[in-house]
A and B are shown apart, each in its own frame.
Chain A
Amino acid sequence: DTGVSQDPRHKITKRGQNVTFRCDPISEHNRLYWYRQTLGQGPEFLTYFQNEAQLEKSRLLSDRFSAERPKGSFSTLEIQRTEQGDSAMYLCASSPGGVNEQYFGPGTRLTVT
């Protein structure tokens, strides 16, 4: 399978704990995106990487959220001091340069209790 992969697929955590998610994009794709989706809503943009550089970050992303893409390959999204409002599906997408459509992974479903 050469699609976008995400790990873990499901995560249950207690309020106040830190969590980290991983995304492996399609290998030749230099652009990587993180989105958040809650039930009944469309995906909401969080942040964007071109290679290893984080070029855009949503105003909605509080300082509890941080993302990295070392060496321009896989990416991690960390949420510190989780809150119940962080419960959502976290989606990763990638695309090659010069192409505008995005290819999504299966998502990581986070539940904060």
Chain B
Amino acid sequence: EDQVTQSPEALRLQEGESSSLNCSYTVSGLRGLFWYRQDPGKGPEFLFTLYSAGEEKEKERLKATLTKKESFLHITAPKPEDSATYLCAVQARVTNAGKSTFGDGTTLTVKP
């Protein structure tokens, strides 16, 4: 069964203090690994898709990387508006449905 574990559960940073969020996964043949951002009371918002080990994607202050066992979401010089829960999800190659298995997220708080 596909599994996704995210750490830490919560992360508090000062504005400008860079850090990384971890997503460890086990899946029977990875089709894709996804990062989403979720604000309180809202649905997840798509950020990145990574398909193979060594791949990297960047968007503003966020950079996602992928190895065969884990993914990192690096946040450089975060701002208070980056505060949110960041979710990692995987899809297995065997599924035709695109069913995603999610981790429980890392809740990031950035203090000004």
Contacts and interface: CB of A to CB of B under 8 A. Distances in A.
A45 B89 CA distance: 11
B21 interface: no
Contact of A55 (B46, B97, B103): B97
Interface size, A (range): 20 to 34
Interface size, B (range): 20 to 34
A91 interface: yes
A42 B43 contact: no
A41 B42 contact: no
Contacts, number: 65
Interface centre among A43, A100, A109 (most CB of B within 10 A): A43
Contacts of A50: 97
Nearest to A50: B97
Interface string A86-113: 0000010101000011111111010000
B98 interface: yes
A106 B43 contact: yes
Contacts of A107: 41-43
Interface of A: 4, 31, 33, 35, 40-45, 48, 50, 55-56, 91, 93, 95, 100-107, 109
Interface of B: 4, 31-32, 34, 36, 41-46, 49, 87, 89, 91, 95-105
